[in-house]
């Protein structure tokens, strides 16, 4: 039990990053992490020590996010104006890398929830397709297609619709 | 988006799997041949890789941000449903906030006892049974547990009021209560915790001997954190229910000294012959 709590605390940076990807804003993300930790602590009896604590908690977070989504008014979808974002990103490239990364965050935030979750798990957290599928409770094939759409939209925005053969 | 209009979904998936190292060897070899032959596919792979790199760059640094203390407190502090208030296996806790007026739950503490110095092989058999507030078997327990002069614990015991932390040498020490027995001997309950949260700390009772050295009279392995939100699991800070206080020689009332009285004694250098008045 003690070890598990220590492990949970060690996981917090990754949980926060995943939450940031899911929830969009830093404040919402920490609320989500908080709710996830509370839910996990209340369900420790249900944790199988033979499985990975990180996957278990990511899955709880994902479920928490879905449940919260049912209760809350859905956030207005941020349209991914790829060309606009590209112009922004290009201008901001001169202004500084930090602003550019802000633009990337906005692009990620603008992805549909299900695509964003997969992108965060695989491309950002480095989880395998199989692990991501287990966390999200979806088939591996769905992981692959959602990931491809998410990445494709980011790549499109970053290349600004130019001819890809450059 | 025009950029991927000519990139079939299957190719997008395959390129992504290539980046993720998820292609089986056969498919990877096949894709490698196509990449060699198809510039547009190569360009698309580069764009996807760039997208990945940007996403990582935007989010990965979050790992290095400090985690809000409230989140750590949630995990440390909140007992899981159905969990005993302070199970002995739980662990190394950080101190509660210094101002928190925490008392141990007697039964939880008794359960947490891993080591009792000078108990003569006995356990806390008298705990909870002594209606007169005395410990049945341990009242005269003595031990050779001198607290090293100048150590973190000695400094906390000798110079600091309760709930004020002394930190040094990778240890944190604080007194949590002060008692004065009938013979005027001063004893203080304390907690001593290592900086590394994976190591057990100790809680104990140390009494000040003539000459100014402190001697441990009882030590228990300090288990888990006492949750702030778990007041029900803890005894009130008064009355005779404090098992450590029962080890104070001649103590009839386990209520600790008031902060004012305690501060006065510290200021005066723990004068002998105190009558325990508060």
Helix (H, G, I), strand (E, B) or coil at A132: helix
Per-residue pLDDT of chain B (278 residues; tens, 9 = 90+): 444 445 688 999 999 998 888 988 888 888 888 888 888 888 898 889 888 888 888 887 666 677 788 888 888 875 444 443 332 222 223 332 222 223 333 333 443 433 343 333 333 333 333 333 333 333 323 334 788 888 889 999 999 887 777 777 777 787 878 888 877 888 898 877 776 655 566 778 888 988 888 988 777 665 433 333 333 223 223 333 455 666 676 666 667 787 778 888 998 888 875 444 44
- B114 at interface of A, judged by CB pairs closer than 8 A: no
By CA distance, what is B17's nearest residue in A? A144
Contact B67 A162 (CB under 8 A): no
Instruction: Give pLDDT, residue B241.
Output: 41
* Cα gap B127→B123, rounded to integer Å: 9
Degrees, nearest 5: CA angle B45-B55-A163: 35
Burial class from Cβ neighbours inside 10 Å (0-12, 13-18, 19+) for residue B7 reads buried
Give the distance from residue B235's alpha carbon to the nearest chain A alpha carbon, in angstroms.
23
* Cα gap B273→B270, rounded to integer Å: 9
Distance of CA B264 to the CA centre of its chain: 30
Residues of B within 8 A of A25 (CB-CB) are none
- B36 at interface of A, judged by CB pairs closer than 8 A: no
Contact B58 A119 (CB under 8 A): no
| Nearest residue to A1 via CA among B85, B89, B198 | B89
CB-nearest partner of B47 from A5, A38, A158 = A158
Chain B, window 222-261: residues with a beta carbon less than 8 angstroms from a chain A beta carbon = 224
Chain A, window 110-129: residues with a beta carbon less than 8 angstroms from a chain B beta carbon = 119-120, 122-124, 128-129
Per-residue pLDDT of chain A (166 residues; tens, 9 = 90+): 567 888 888 888 888 888 888 887 777 888 899 899 988 988 888 888 888 888 899 999 988 888 877 655 444 444 444 445 555 555 545 455 566 778 888 888 888 888 999 999 998 888 899 999 998 989 999 999 999 999 999 999 887 644 433 3
* Cα gap B206→B191, rounded to integer Å: 10
The structure tokens 């020490």 sit at B173
Contact A1 B87 (CB under 8 A): yes
Cβ atoms of B118 and B143 within 8 Å: the answer is yes
Contact B9 A41 (CB under 8 A): no
Residues of A within 8 A of B69 (CB-CB) are none
Contact A30 B55 (CB under 8 A): no
Residues of A within 8 A of B57 (CB-CB) are 101, 104
- A9 at interface of B, judged by CB pairs closer than 8 A: yes
- A34 at interface of B, judged by CB pairs closer than 8 A: yes
Instruction: Give pLDDT, residue A80.
Output: 46
Mutation target for A interface from B10, B19, B35, B71: give the one with most A CBs within 10 A.
Answer: B71
Contact A1 B56 (CB under 8 A): no
CB atoms within 10 A of CB A99: 15
Strand partners, B168: B171
Residues of B within 8 A of A33 (CB-CB) are 71
Instruction: Give pLDDT, residue A51.
Output: 82
* Cα gap B76→B229, rounded to integer Å: 11
Burial class from Cβ neighbours inside 10 Å (0-12, 13-18, 19+) for residue A85 reads buried
Q: Kindly report whether the global pTM for this prediction surpasses the value 0.90.
A: no
User: What radius of gyration do chain B's Cα atoms show?
Assistant: 30
The structure tokens 């190569």 sit at B42
| Nearest residue to A99 via CA among A112, A111, A110, A87 | A87
Measuring CA to CA, how many Å separate A12 from each of A38, A90, B79? 13, 33, 18
Helix (H, G, I), strand (E, B) or coil at A161: coil
List, as one string, the DSSP characters of B225-256.
---TT-GGGS--SSSS--TTGGGSTT----PP
Burial class from Cβ neighbours inside 10 Å (0-12, 13-18, 19+) for residue B36 reads exposed
CB-nearest partner of B89 from A1, A13, A37 = A1
Instruction: Give pLDDT, residue B103.
Output: 33
Instruction: Give pLDDT, residue A138.
Output: 93
Cβ atoms of A61 and A33 within 8 Å: the answer is yes
* Cα gap B71→A9, rounded to integer Å: 8
* Cα gap B23→A34, rounded to integer Å: 36
Contact B17 A144 (CB under 8 A): yes
Q: Quick one: how many helices (H) and strands (E) in chain A?
A: 8, 0
Mutation target for A interface from B7, B38, B59: give the one with most A CBs within 10 A.
Answer: B59
Size of interface A-B (CB pairs under 8 A): 171
Q: Where are the beta strands (DSSP E) in chain A?
A: none
List, as one string, the DSSP characters of B114-176.
---TT-TT--STTTTT-TTS--TTTTT-----BPPTTSHHHHHHHH--TT--EEETTEEEEEE
Give the distance from residue B181's alpha carbon to the nearest chain A alpha carbon, in angstroms.
36
Phi, psi (deg, nearest 5) at residue A10? -65, -25
Residues of B within 8 A of A106 (CB-CB) are none
């Amino acid at each position: 039990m003690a070890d598990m709590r220590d492990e949970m605390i060690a996981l917090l940076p990754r949980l926060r990053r995943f939450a940031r990807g899911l929830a969009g804003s830093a404040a919402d993300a920490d609320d989500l992490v908080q709710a996830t930790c509370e839910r996990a602590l209340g369900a420790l009896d249900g944790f199988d020590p033979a499985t990975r604590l990180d996957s278990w908690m990511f899955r709880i977070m994902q479920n928490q996010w879905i449940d919260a989504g049912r209760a809350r008014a859905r956030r207005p979808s941020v349209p991914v104006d790829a060309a606009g974002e590209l112009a922004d990103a290009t201008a901001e490239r001169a202004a500084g890398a930090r602003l550019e990364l802000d633009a990337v965050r906005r692009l990620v935030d603008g992805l549909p929830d299900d695509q964003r979750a997969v992108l965060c798990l695989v491309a950002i957290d480095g989880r395998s397709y199989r692990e991501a599928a287990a966390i999200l409770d979806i088939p591996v094939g769905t992981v692959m297609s959602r990931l491809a759409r998410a990445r494709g939209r980011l790549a499109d925005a970053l290349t600004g619709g130019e001819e890809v053969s450059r | 988006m025009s950029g991927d209009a000519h990139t079939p979904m299957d190719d997008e998936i395959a390129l992504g799997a290539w980046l993720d190292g998820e292609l089986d060897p056969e498919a990877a070899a096949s894709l490698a041949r196509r990449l060699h032959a198809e510039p547009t596919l190569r360009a698309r792979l580069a764009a996807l890789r760039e997208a990945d790199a940007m996403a990582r760059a935007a989010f990965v640094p979050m790992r290095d941000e400090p985690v809000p203390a409230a989140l750590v407190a949630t995990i440390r502090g909140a007992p899981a449903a159905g969990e005993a208030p302070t199970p002995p296996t739980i662990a190394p806790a950080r101190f509660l906030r210094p101002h928190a007026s925490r008392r141990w739950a007697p039964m939880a503490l008794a359960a947490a006892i891993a080591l009792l110095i000078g108990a003569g092989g006995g356990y806390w058999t008298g705990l909870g049974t002594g209606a007169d507030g005395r410990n049945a078997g341990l009242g005269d327990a003595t031990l050779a547990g001198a607290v090293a002069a100048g150590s973190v614990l000695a400094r906390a015991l000798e110079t600091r009021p309760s709930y004020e932390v002394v930190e040094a040498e990778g240890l944190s020490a604080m007194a949590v209560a002060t008692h004065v027995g009938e013979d005027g001997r001063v004893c203080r309950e304390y907690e001593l915790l290592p900086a590394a949260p994976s190591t057990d700390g100790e809680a104990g009772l140390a009494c000040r001997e003539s000459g100014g050295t402190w001697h441990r009279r009882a030590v228990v392995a300090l288990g888990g954190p006492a949750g702030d939100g778990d007041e029900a699991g803890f005894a009130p800070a008064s009355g005779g229910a404090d098992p450590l206080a029962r080890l104070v020689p001649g103590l009839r009332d386990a209520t600790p000294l008031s902060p004012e009285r305690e501060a006065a004694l510290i200021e005066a250098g723990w004068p002998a012959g105190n009558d325990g008045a508060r």
